[in-house]
């Protein structure tokens, strides 16, 4: 179940970045770094708990909290890519709950690299314009309007990007 607290009035924007085993290091770390530099409260949540997460290039990152216990309301949900990380995001029921809630409420959702595969698995953002890593483009194209000409694609409350080389733009 997605934890939320009562609205206590105006607060800084909050970003939730979900970190799964096998995620792409540069995408996760650059995203968190840039958001925090911008003054956005950013929570790096471990998909499987708050212990160290082994990423795609064998770097271990310690999340701020476990996704299952993260309290509060977030303005944006961010999914870093990486083949194995994307697979794990796509098979997580909790990630599906978050995606469906954010989609229903019109809150921002951002996914990079292979992470848009989670949209297919959880049946959100069908038919929307998006981009992704070339390795998953054929699958994403069957679900959404694929735009591989742009490094970052925005469609309403959905933001997608192609991969590690486009992370700063993302």
State the catalytic residues.
Answer: 113
What own/partner pairs with CB < 8 Å and gap ≥ 24 does 9-12 have? Answer: 11/41, 12/39, 12/40, 12/41
Which residues neighbour 45 within 8 Å (Cβ) at sequence distance 6 or greater?
16, 17, 18, 19, 63, 64, 65, 66, 67, 70
Q: How many Å apart are CA 167 and CA 170, to the nearest integer?
A: 5
End-to-end CA distance of the chain: 29
């Amino acid at each position: 179940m997605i934890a939320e607290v009562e609205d206590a009035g105006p607060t800084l924007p909050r970003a939730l970045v979900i970190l799964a085993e096998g995620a792409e290091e540069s995408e996760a770390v650059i995203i968190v770094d840039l958001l925090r530099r911008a003054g956005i409260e950013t929570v790096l949540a471990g998909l499987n708990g708050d212990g160290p997460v082994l990423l795609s290039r064998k770097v271990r990152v310690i999340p701020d909290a476990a996704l299952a216990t993260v309290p509060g309301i977030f303005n944006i949900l961010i999914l870093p890519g990486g083949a194995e990380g994307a697979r794990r995001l796509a098979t997580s029921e909790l990630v599906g709950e978050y995606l469906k809630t954010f989609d229903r409420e019109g809150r921002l959702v951002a996914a990079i690299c292979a992470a848009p595969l989670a949209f297919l698995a959880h049946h959100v953002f069908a038919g929307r314009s998006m981009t992704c890593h070339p390795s998953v483009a054929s699958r994403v194209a069957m679900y959404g309007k694929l735009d591989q000409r742009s490094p970052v694609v925005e469609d309403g409350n959905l933001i997608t990007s192609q991969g590690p080389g486009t992370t700063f733009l993302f």
